[in-house]
Structure 1
Amino acid sequence: MSRPSSDVQAFTAHATDAELDELRARLAAARLPEAETVRHAEPGPGRWAQGVPLADLTEVVHYWRTEYDWRPFEDRLNRIGQFRTTVEGLGIHFLHRRSARADATPLLMTHGWPDSVARFTDVVEELADPKDPDAPAFHVVTPSLPGFGYSDRPVTTGWGTEKIAAAWVELMGRLGYGTFLAHGGDWGGNITTVLGGRFPAQVLGIHTTFAEGPPGLSTEGLSATERAWAEETRDFWHRRAAYAKQQATRPQTIGYSLVDSPVGLLAWILDKFAEWSDTKDSPFEAISIDSILDDVTLYWLTRTGASAARIYYESHNALDPDLRVDVPSAITAYPRDVEKCPHPWAQERYRRIVRWSEPEIGGHFAALEVPELFVEDLRQGLTAVLAANR
């Protein structure tokens, strides 16, 4: 194991009362549009056909202004352990929860958009110090992506997934982890793929909920379910990915609204929690309103709506088509995720798939939606990865 570096500094999150009062004042002064013209009395996806319904947003805004309390989430971040270090001139924030177990393995967990380290706060403790003494334990490191949360906002271009992956290797080395496991979903899954492909000497293996095969593969030979996955993914990118195209081409333009208006920020993020979660109607069927507001408030207080959007400008469709991952890989496809890669396609990039999992429930934000299932599936995947290294 490498020696830890003194370049890592402890960090404490604390929003001032004035910042929280200003947020409530802005919420009270919000100007809302008229209701959507597509009306559905019954709960279901049709209610969200034009985006977040006015009635739902009004209710969440009222709760955010009058009842939501930021302090418990802030305290939870501080209890887990927060730190910052500078890599390539950019300040990087991360959570670091060392396990008490002597046999624990370092585990790097990377979030995506529109989430943050909030994606993993419900599962860090159980992964680090499991209640079951026979379960594997991990030293958990969860960085905030550049431009997200308490990480610095890049002032130049260049912070794409390849550079982020290299920065994560540097970060883990500074913590004394010369080798480690890696997990990620969404952009975190993309970065985890780069980690496994570019840094096999440091990465023991990976687990991802966002496998991505090389482009241009044929559907010939796929099962009926796999063909349906491919069609769903094609439909998603053709008909439901305007947010990604906006952020990949004009992040600065949408960024003004995301940084200036808490209601605009909430609607932009809530729309994705609703569409990408395993629910019939509202995301709050699976994720508490407080958990979603923890995430949104983190974006608001750190003024990172624009800078987080720029990861699309930096890396949209940028995964090297020739990149191959030869370290052991575990892949999970949750049923309501927005992109699910057929197994034969995944095998073209991930050469050593040691576990393939298709849970019966869960969506894009599985660690928040079904945390117990997520932890158990992650454990099984990483156990298979470690066994393949012996």
Structure 2
Amino acid sequence: MKIKWLAIALLTVLILMALLFPSFIFPQPPLAELTEAREKLSEAEKSQASEYAPDLYKKATILYDSAMVAWAKENDRFFFMKDFLITKQLASKASETAILAKSTAQNMSKKIWSNYSKRLDLIDDQFERFDLKYKNIPLSESSVKRLAQSRMLYHEVSVAFESGNAALLKENLSKLEKDMAQLIGQAEATMTEFFKDYPQWKKWVSAGIEKSRKANETVFVIDKMERLCYVYAKGKLTHTFNMELGANWMGDKMLSGDKTTPEGVYKVVKKKGNGQTKYYKALLLNYPNADDQKRFKENKAKGIIPKNATIGNLIEIHGDGGKGLDWTDGCVALNNNDMDKLFGLASENTQVIIVGSLKPLPTK
């Protein structure tokens, strides 16, 4: 009888406690904490935390998954034995970690996109400097192709930057930087090789201008890099004409057919008026001179040029220029109006100095 009354009393106490303290008898899962953790994880993912803060995002995900496992485990227990404390703690920790992952990802994203912006600005500057510094350099076919492809790729990555396409930027920006570095490296090597004769060019021009001053003579100075023909009379610059060169103008002429305008100290050996040349008017130069012939024989002996090569001739300053590109077989071309003026200033034996550049190799 006592046992029966004790059971009734215990049941009564439990009912009263359930009424007065329901959470004690029926522990409630931390739904608010779990919901918040899930929301914070979603916010972190939208901030690309999986990419920009992967360790923190992974940790937050593991904490949330662990909270869900703990919740499921407690749900399998008898109602008055359930304890959601660990679930709540894990969920709260998952929220805190997800918030940190989001903040870290946002800061990292800003740094990365700022870096992308700086890299794109640098590439833009490289294109600008390349066009300015190397605009006149005859590029190889492969370099021309690479330059065109690089311009197209630059446009693509610029659009990707504006649209926030990080994947395309990450994939192609490094390739673009590598290609530009190769193009600039090749151009710089070409320029360095070209300008190795600058000290000699400088001597030729100085001597020619001094001769013009002392002997009261007219001297023509041709600057291949700037595409300019200068006329000196009595040591003073009197005229400047634009001109065009051989299609493969860079460097000294090596052999017949290389389409390179020679470098050296020459003289006019014949004036060809209208009807005597297919290029309006022309001043025939004494190419090859003694220096050209000596170098040609040495290059043959060294195997630099083929044994059956010929040295070439008929290098002229002639008209029919003004095409806006280098097109001759090695001659210097002026438009016909300028050719009329130059023709009138020239005579047989007028000295013509052809150099790669009047200015030293640019350092920037």
- Shorter-chain TM range is under 0.3
Higher Rg of the two aligned structures: 2
Identify, as 1 or 2, the structure richer in helix. Answer: 2
Q: Normalization by structure 2: what TM-score?
A: 0.21
